[in-house]
């Protein structure tokens, strides 16, 4: 340390002399020195998908004695399985289990994946050749779609981690995948009140490619979480013995296995115990975990879209019945709707403020973690988790609506709830009550703040 300091001091006069001698030579030399020191002269290595260390740590804490870890060989096996099925950020693959006939082609189009993946690259006309995701999304959502890109820690709310397969603003109920149209709306309109910008300047085909790439990252991340949750019960057996797939292609291995099972040929050689264990595990991971899990969940989300009835005319502030509808909404807000418990009696989002969203709850529920005490979760942030932040109920006096401010958007938020958050579904509310709430919520930004909670008698608001 001392020697370094000295050398800096000694070299200082030389630098000044150099500057005096010839500025341009100096600048050139400095640039060269910096270039060699920091960048070298080679291209930086291609980015890789990042292992879900937070999930691994969570599972270790749930199933192993304190401070013990899963064997490191499992990290390699998880990476090997995922690379075999999904490729790399440079060269994506997708597990079409039924080959060209697979219906997954409809929700993850391979040409779109290739277009969205890879490094940012365009032709002479400026038309992108590859790298759409890296150009528009990865700074915040990360190469892996883990919501932990370079800018993530500076944003509030944090960018979405796709790997939990939860999406807030959609036309389908909880735990149903959003439709392509839902995702398109988010990309086109952005999410007001957050760092998510609008991408409305992008052409339709680029938006579609990004949607398919987001689904690809989501499915990959979901399977990764499923594989990690298998680790605690492997009894020392390999997660997937890749030595049985010399070409590294698990999908081809499954196709071959299923073809062998179907054929009536005489058994040629009795398979070894390891071979049988591998075949069983291959079938389990691809058919039971992947196919029955994420792949099924992403097929036909349109089937579960919630129908929105016609918007009542009284929603318009100019309508003679508007005031009555707003009054009705206010009553529901404070009584049957339970809204004030979280959004507060002023509706400024100051009711229940100590909740966390599901992306945070996912790991802060681990034993011994207190999200308000850094010491108790440092190992998680070291593993890549972002500092836990409480989720604030929306301040309804600001006319900023993340999932869109049309009455239909608000109707969906109230009827279905918001996935990944404490916002519940208004399951007991009638259609009229929901529209009344929509009218009240839309009116709140214009209402005087002293006119809040009405006098309630037997859960009915009485006139002032």
Partner 1 sequence: MKSNFTLALLLAAIILPQSLTAQEAATESKPAAAADQGEWGHLTGTVTVDGDVAAAKEEAVGDHADKAACLVDGKVPLDDNVLVNSENKGLADVYVIMYLKKKKDPAIHPSYLAKKAEPVVLDNVNCRFVPHATFVRTGQKLILKNSDAVGHNCHITTFNNEHNPNIPANSETEVKFDTEDSRPGNVTCDLHKWMDSVIFIRDNPYVAITDADGKFTIENLPAGEWDFQFWHKKVGYLKKLSIENQKVSKKGVTTVTIAAGETADLGTMKLPAKAIK
Interface residues with partner 1 (CB under 8 A) are 62-63, 174-175, 232-235, 280, 284, 288, 293, 297, 335-338, 341-342, 352, 354-355, 358, 367, 417, 419, 422-429, 459
Q: How far is the CB of 352 from partner 1 (least distance, A)?
A: 6
- Of 249 and 258, the one with the shorter C-beta distance to partner 1 is 258
Q: How far is the CB of 354 from partner 1 (least distance, A)?
A: 8
- Of 113 and 332, the one with the shorter C-beta distance to partner 1 is 332
Q: CB of 130 within 8 A of CB of 115?
A: yes
Q: How far is the CB of 460 from partner 1 (least distance, A)?
A: 13
Per the listing, tokens 């009705």 go with 328
Q: In degrees to the nearest 10, what's the CA dihedral of 100, 275, 60, 288?
A: 40
DSSP state of 429: -
Q: How far is the CB of 234 from partner 1 (least distance, A)?
A: 8
Q: How far is the CB of 141 from partner 1 (least distance, A)?
A: 22
Q: How far is the CB of 457 from partner 1 (least distance, A)?
A: 15
Q: CB of 257 within 8 A of CB of 283?
A: yes
Q: Which residues of 278-298 are buried (b: 16+ CB within 10 A; e: fewer)?
A: bbebbeebbeebbeebbbebb
- Of 308 and 335, the one with the shorter C-beta distance to partner 1 is 335
Q: Which residues contact 222 (CB under 8 A, 6 or more apart)?
A: 163, 164, 165, 293, 294
- Of 22 and 296, the one with the shorter C-beta distance to partner 1 is 296
- Of 189 and 366, the one with the shorter C-beta distance to partner 1 is 366
Closest CA to 406 of 340, 308, 319, 320: 308
Closest CA to 228 of 52, 86, 350: 52
Question: What angle (nearest 5°) sits at the alpha carbon of residue 392, between those of residues 388 and 397?
Answer: 160
**Collapsing DSSP states into helix, strand and coil, what is residue 260?**
helix
Q: How far is the CB of 210 from partner 1 (least distance, A)?
A: 26
Q: How far is the CB of 2 from partner 1 (least distance, A)?
A: 51
Q: How far is the CB of 9 from partner 1 (least distance, A)?
A: 58
- Of 107 and 115, the one with the shorter C-beta distance to partner 1 is 107
Q: CB of 366 within 8 A of CB of 376?
A: no
Distances (CA, A) of 337 to 309, 334, 349, 355: 19, 7, 15, 19
- Of 354 and 463, the one with the shorter C-beta distance to partner 1 is 354
- Of 103 and 345, the one with the shorter C-beta distance to partner 1 is 345
- Of 65 and 246, the one with the shorter C-beta distance to partner 1 is 65
Q: CB of 452 within 8 A of CB of 325?
A: no
Q: In degrees to the nearest 10, what's the CA dihedral of 245, 246, 250, 254?
A: -50
- Of 247 and 261, the one with the shorter C-beta distance to partner 1 is 261
Per the listing, tokens 């909670």 go with 453
Q: Which residues contact 448 (CB under 8 A, 6 or more apart)?
A: none
Q: How far is the CB of 66 from partner 1 (least distance, A)?
A: 10
Q: CB of 126 within 8 A of CB of 203?
A: no
């Amino acid at each position: 340390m001392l020697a370094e300091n000295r050398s800096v001091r000694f070299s200082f006069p030389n630098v000044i002399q150099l500057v005096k001698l010839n500025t341009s030579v100096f600048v050139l030399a400095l640039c060269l020195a910096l270039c060699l020191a920091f960048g070298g002269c080679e291209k930086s290595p291609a980015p890789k998908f990042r292992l879900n260390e937070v999930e691994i740590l969570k599972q270790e804490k749930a199933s192993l004695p304190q401070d013990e870890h899963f064997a490191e060989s499992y990290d390699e096996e998880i990476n090997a399985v995922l690379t075999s099925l999904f490729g790399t950020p440079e060269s994506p693959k997708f597990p079409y289990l039924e080959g060209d006939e697979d219906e997954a082609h409809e929700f993850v189009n391979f040409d779109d994946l290739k277009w969205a993946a890879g490094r940012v690259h365009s032709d002479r006309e400026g038309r992108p050749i590859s790298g759409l995701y890296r150009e528009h999304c990865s700074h915040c959502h990360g190469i892996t779609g883990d919501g932990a890109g370079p800018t993530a820690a500076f944003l509030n709310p944090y960018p979405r981690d796709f790997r939990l397969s939860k999406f807030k603003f959609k036309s389908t109920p909880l735990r149903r995948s959003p439709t392509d149209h839902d995702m398109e709306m988010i990309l086109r309109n952005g999410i007001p009140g957050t760092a998510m910008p609008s991408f409305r300047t992008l052409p339709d085909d680029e938006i579609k490619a990004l949607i398919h790439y987001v689904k690809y990252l989501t499915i990959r991340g979901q399977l990764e979480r499923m594989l990690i949750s298998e680790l605690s019960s492997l009894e020392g057996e390999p997660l997937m013995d890749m030595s049985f797939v010399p070409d590294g292609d698990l999908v081809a291995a499954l196709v071959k296995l299923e073809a062998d099972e179907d054929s009536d040929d005489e058994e040629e050689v009795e398979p070894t115990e390891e071979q049988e264990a591998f075949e069983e595990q291959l079938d389990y991971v691809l058919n039971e975990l992947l196919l029955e899990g994420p792949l099924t969940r992403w097929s036909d989300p349109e089937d579960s879209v919630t129908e929105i009835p016609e918007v009542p005319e009284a929603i318009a502030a100019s309508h003679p019945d508007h005031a009555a509808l707003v009054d009705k909404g206010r009553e529901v807000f404070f009584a049957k709707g339970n809204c004030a418990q979280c959004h507060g009696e002023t509706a400024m989002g100051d009711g229940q403020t100590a909740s966390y969203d599901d992306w945070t709850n996912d790991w802060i529920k681990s034993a011994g973690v207190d999200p308000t005490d850094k010491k108790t979760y440092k190992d998680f942030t070291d593993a890549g988790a972002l500092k836990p932040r409480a989720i604030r109920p929306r301040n309804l006096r600001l006319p900023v609506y993340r999932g869109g401010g049309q009455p239909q958007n608000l109707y969906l938020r109230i009827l279905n709830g918001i996935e990944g958050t404490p916002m519940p579904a208004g399951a007991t509310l009638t259609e009229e009550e929901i529209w009344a709430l929509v009218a009240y919520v839309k009116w709140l930004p214009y209402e005087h703040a002293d006119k809040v909670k009405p006098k309630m008698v037997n859960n009915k608001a009485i006139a002032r």
